[in-house]
Amino acid sequence: MKSLNLKCRAKINLSIDVLGKREDDYHLVEMIMQTIDLYDNVNIEEIDRGIYIDCDNEYVPTDSSNIAYKAADLIKKEFNIDKGVKIVINKNIPVAAGLAGGSTNAAAVLVGLNKLWDLKLTQNQLMEIGLRLGADVPFCILGGTAIAKGIGEKLTRIKGLRNVKILICKPDILVSTKWVYQNLDMNNVSRRPNTDNIVNTLEENDVQALADSMVNVLESVTENKYIEIKEIKRTMIKYKALESMMSGSGPTVFGIFDNLDYAQNAKEELQKVYKQTYLVNAYKGGIEIEG
């Protein structure tokens, strides 16, 4: 039977601004997305019929509510495929974390099935199909660094983070993205990101200027309810992160370091309390097909 291994990576947001709301209640955003080298392994194997999911993380559903299942179902229906697929997900990306863990699994299934079933879809076509599954899926297919507008799907590639260490720390709390957006009041937001300015800092690889201009307007909503966010940020700054900020709607917090020793010290300290702490690099690509 035919099978493929894929690596699909997580993302962080270097900035998030909310510009308004669409009629269907989706929020209009302007964000800078950065792929990081923290990945799940996804194996897809052609079988006679059906879609089966296996995952080593107890918090990930293995039924039709899994977004990887939905991706396979969409491809099967759209292209009248009568074969089935078994999808095995080895999770390293923290779940429900603001790191697009589910979206990147769906992206891997789309990219993988395109190859496995020789569908000859272009990257743009895959991204269009991906958008039907979730606003972050197109970015996970594209990868690297990009400005995301619209509901997150209008993507422009930009120069990425270079020569920095990124410390990721996921506290053991559950945050609902819906709750965060519902509780966001832009009148209470004291600072908003200047996206053009951040793009310039990346162009010039001015890491300190980037650190000074990173803003996530969702952060105050989440950190007012969960003290862990502020605690992690404080620890990262104490251990000399250039800046520390929440990713997505949280609860993951990341820190940017220009010194490996500082980053490792911060990691050791945070790991005493937060098991899901990872030191990673920025990553330039999207979904990787192995072998």
CA atoms of 103 and 85, how far apart (whole Å): 18
66 counts as binding ligand ATP under rule CB under 6 A:
yes
User: Are 9 and 15 within 8 A, CB to CB?
Assistant: no
Q: How far is the CB of 40 from ligand ATP (least distance, A)?
A: 8
Return the residue nearest ligand ATP (CB atom).
102
Burial class (CB in 10 A: 0-12, 13-18, 19+), 185: exposed
13 counts as binding ligand ATP under rule CB under 6 A:
no
Beta strands in 150-233 (DSSP E): 154-157, 165-170
Amino acid at 251: P
- Which of the residues 11, 91, 170, 233 is marked catalytic? 11
102 counts as binding ligand ATP under rule CB under 6 A:
yes
Task: Using CA atoms of 291, 122, 195, 284 in order, give the dihedral in degrees to the nearest 10.
Answer: 10
- For ligand ATP, the closer CB: 177 or 265: 177
Q: For residue 85, report the phi and psi dihedrals to the nearest 5 degrees.
A: -150, 140
133 counts as binding ligand ATP under rule CB under 6 A:
no
How many amino acids of this chain bind ligand ATP (CB under 6 A)? 19
User: Are 89 and 53 within 8 A, CB to CB?
Assistant: yes
Q: For residue 155, report the phi and psi dihedrals to the nearest 5 degrees.
A: -110, 140
Q: How far is the CB of 176 from ligand ATP (least distance, A)?
A: 9
199 counts as binding ligand ATP under rule CB under 6 A:
no
Out of 16, 29, 32, 99, the only residue in the binding site for ligand ATP (CB under 6 A) is 99
Strands 84-90 and 51-55: parallel
Out of 14, 44, 96, 256, the only residue in the binding site for ligand ATP (CB under 6 A) is 96
Contact window for ligand ATP (CB under 6 A) among 60-68, 181-189, 206-214, 261-269: 60-68
Burial letters 224-235, b for 16+ CB under 10 A, else e: ebbebbebbbeb
Instruction: From 247, 242, 183, 268, select the one nearest 31 (Cα to Cα).
Output: 247
6 counts as binding ligand ATP under rule CB under 6 A:
no
- For ligand ATP, the closer CB: 29 or 242: 29
Out of 15, 34, 105, 235, the only residue in the binding site for ligand ATP (CB under 6 A) is 105
Q: How far is the CB of 183 from ligand ATP (least distance, A)?
A: 16
83 is catalytic: no
56 is catalytic: no
253 counts as binding ligand ATP under rule CB under 6 A:
no
248 counts as binding ligand ATP under rule CB under 6 A:
yes
Sheet of 243-246: strand order equals 243-246, 253-257, 165-170, 276-280
- For ligand ATP, the closer CB: 160 or 251: 251
CB neighbourhood size of 119 (10 A): 16
- Which of the residues 17, 70, 136, 233 is marked catalytic? 136
Q: How far is the CB of 255 from ligand ATP (least distance, A)?
A: 18
282 counts as binding ligand ATP under rule CB under 6 A:
no
103 counts as binding ligand ATP under rule CB under 6 A:
yes
Amino acid at 63: D
- What is the contact surface with ligand ATP in residues (CB under 6 A)? 60-61, 66-68, 89, 95-103, 105, 136, 177, 248
Active-site amino acid positions: 11, 136
